[in-house]
A and B are shown apart, each in its own frame.
Chain A
Amino acid sequence: MTDVAEPQGTVPEDANDHCVGPEHELAGRASGCEGCPNQEICSTQASGPDPDLPIVAERLRNVRHKILILSGKGGVGKSTFTGQLAFALAGDEEKEIGVVDIDICGPSLPRIMGCEREEIHRSAAGWSPIYVQDNLGLMSIGFMLPDEDSAVIWRGPKKNGLIKQFLKDVDWGTGTDNTLDYMLFDTPPGTSDEHLSVVQLLRGSGISGAVIVTTPQEVALQDVRKEIDFCRKANVPIIGVVENMCGFVCPTCHGESRIFYPTTGGASALCKDLDIPLLGSIPLDPSIGRACDYGSSFIDTHADSPAAKAYVQIIHKIKQILESNI
């Protein structure tokens, strides 16, 4: 029987009695772990507290809001949404925004934010992010590849190492009094190493919440439910769900069609079921894809389009939720 000492790390709400704590060296393998819903997550983590956590916490001390943009499903528009959210938040020149692209295999943000061929510089203070605008910085492995076609064929531990470096070594200019108002994390699809690592590494400094992006059809919602399950297991607060690619308006005849049918009620049914806010729905607009390909801010270039208006409303809601949660 494991010694019932003070649990190491934050004990999840649904943990078994006598939880040793997720940072205990026997996490997931102690006798009390059997049957605990968190057993798998705990047993796949490295044992013992990570000595880098306090360093990350210190680096991110002056970051007011940290937001993960997640989806179980690929290709629903996480990076597109992250990019547009970043541009919109940076529209207020008084605010400072940082974006961390932790999609190591498929880093899309450099292209989406129009800064593809830039290179990272290092100084004594750390790595400098690439500044898309004066108040909007981006860090991505995309800036570190020898050429843009190079595949990053890394197993989990190496990916985790880079994510840790992004959090420890990037100088966001948050010295003594300088604040970063928002730090956005764009993630790859799934629920794996990258997601586990970023959640663990931000444990000491706190995550404001996750925005989950989906498309309306069941094949996407299935994966999104898993992502929500992950957030609940990992104690990540959920800000809400964004339903993307919802309906299509033909630019020629303005007829409305559906491409990704909400065969099981779409995001609104899912949100009702799981008691999560639906932040809004964004229609499919071919100009969004083009804006991403050319690295421009769709909300600015197509401000009158229904999709841009939907984006603006959703982003406004997110800001409201974040400000009210402080």
Chain B
Amino acid sequence: GKDRGKERADTIHQIQAQLPAEKPALHLRLPVCDSLGSCAVPHQVHAASRALSTGVIKPSLSLSFHSYDRLLRIRALRWEYGSVLPTTIRFHMCAEEMEWFNQYKKSLATYMRSIGGEEGLDITQDVKPPKSLYIEVRCLKDHGEFEIDDGTVILLKKNSQHFLPRWKCEQLIRQGVLEHVIS
């Protein structure tokens, strides 16, 4: 099969290469709709103007697709990673995308507060059916100190293993800090 990522990048480069360096001076208002059939525009001008307007819309489509796809991935990050994005990812986002992410976070939080009774319901948790309250985890990288509900502090050092409450670990497992060990 084709490599999607490369194809996408190639498409964008093709489009960008074809866009004129300066904005073309379009003095005519370009008619796009079929109702023009009734008005007295010379046949050839009609054909040419349709070609031009199609040609102007198409490159902007590819660029807006790229922006839209980025937003879809940023939205996925809220679910996959959590509400605080690491600096490495933030570095690759523009200010508007960061703003969009914050708005999305807020909408999601408002929704979650509104369901499941007084305390709300965190639907980003328990994505897989839980089988036990506590799980065995191994630390994949150093993550410093970690406090659990009863006040105990655990040191998450690389390769250490712990028996911890499931709900505290879920996010760290998704982020690749901990590994769920099944014996």
* Binding partners A and B: no
B interface with A by C-beta (< 8 Å): none
